[in-house]
Amino acid sequence: KQEVTQIPAALSVPEGENLVLNCSFTDSAIYNLQWFRQDPGKGLTSLLLIQSSQREQTSGRLNASLDKSSGRSTLYIAASQPGDSATYLCAVKSSGDKLTFGTGTRLAVRP
């Protein structure tokens, strides 16, 4: 059974800092990995999707990498802003066409 872990559970940084969020998964037989952002009381917004054949994806200040063999992905946020404060979740798509979510990293960016 696929299990997804995100470390750290919570993170507080000053504005402008570069930061890395980590996601690890137990079964490397995945189709893709997706990073989401969730604001309090809201749904999830898709940030980046990495196919199993890819190593990384970039969108603006966000860069996600994937090392399938070691079961790890990182989300790099450059020059963090207070508006980046949210919970970030990763999810892996394995066999059966279903996603397994991590519990998320709660990020607070201090002005």
Partner 1 sequence: EADIYQTPRYLVIGTGKKITLECSQTMGHDKMYWYQQDPGMELHLIHYSYGVNSTEKGDLSSESTVSRIRTEHFPLTLESARPSHTSQYLCASTGQGSLPLHFGNGTRLTVT
What does the longest C-alpha to C-alpha distance in the chain come to? 43
Contact region with partner 1 (CB under 8 A), list: 20-28, 38-46, 65-73, 75-83: 38-46
Q: At closest approach, how far in Å is the CB of 110 from partner 1?
A: 21
SS3 state of residue 98: coil
Using CA atoms, how far apart are residues 111 and 100, in angstroms rounded to an integer?
33
Helix (H) or strand (E) holding 110: strand 105-110
Q: Does 68 bind partner 1 (CB under 8 A)?
A: no
Contact set with partner 1 (CB under 8 A): 31-32, 34, 36, 41-46, 49, 51, 89, 91, 93, 97-99, 101-104
